[in-house]
Amino acid sequence: MTAYTATVTVRLKSGVLDPEAETTQRALERLGFELESLRRADEFEIDLDAADAEAAGERAEEMTERLLANPTIHDYAVDVRER
C-alpha cells in the first residue's frame, strides 16, 4: 500500500444560486476590483492508503458522491498525488 492525498474540490454548478459568492463579489467590486464572476468552492484533503493512484482516486470519488457533494447541485474535481 502507498500513501496518497486526494484533494477534492466541490463547487456549485453553473446557474445554481450562490449568495455567499454574490455578496463577496459585490464587496470586491466596491473595493475597486473588477471581476467577471466569482464562485465559492470547498476543498477537502483526504489522506488514504491504496494500491495505486487510480484506486485512491476511485475511493475519493466514492466518498465525494456519497457525502461530500450533491450531484444535483455540485460539480467536483478529484486530484490524487502520492504523499
Instruction: Output the pTM of the full model.
Output: 0.89
Cell 463547487 belongs to which residue? 11
Domain holding 44, by residue range, is 2-82
Q: Please report, for residues 6, 41, 43, 66, 70, the alpha-carbon distance to residue 57 in angstroms, rounded to integers and kept in the order given.
A: 7, 19, 15, 14, 18
CB-based contact 53:82 (threshold 8 Å): yes
CB-based contact 25:35 (threshold 8 Å): yes
pLDDT in tens, 51-69: 999 999 999 999 999 999 9
Q: Residue 15 and residue 34: Cα distance in Å, rounded?
A: 21
CATH number for the domain spanning 58: value is 3.30.1280.10
Q: 3 has which bridge partners?
A: 49
Pairing relationship of beta strands 41-50 and 74-82 according to DSSP bridges: unpaired
pLDDT in tens, 13-59: 999 999 999 999 999 999 999 999 999 999 999 999 999 999 999 99
How many structural domains is the chain composed of?
Answer: 1
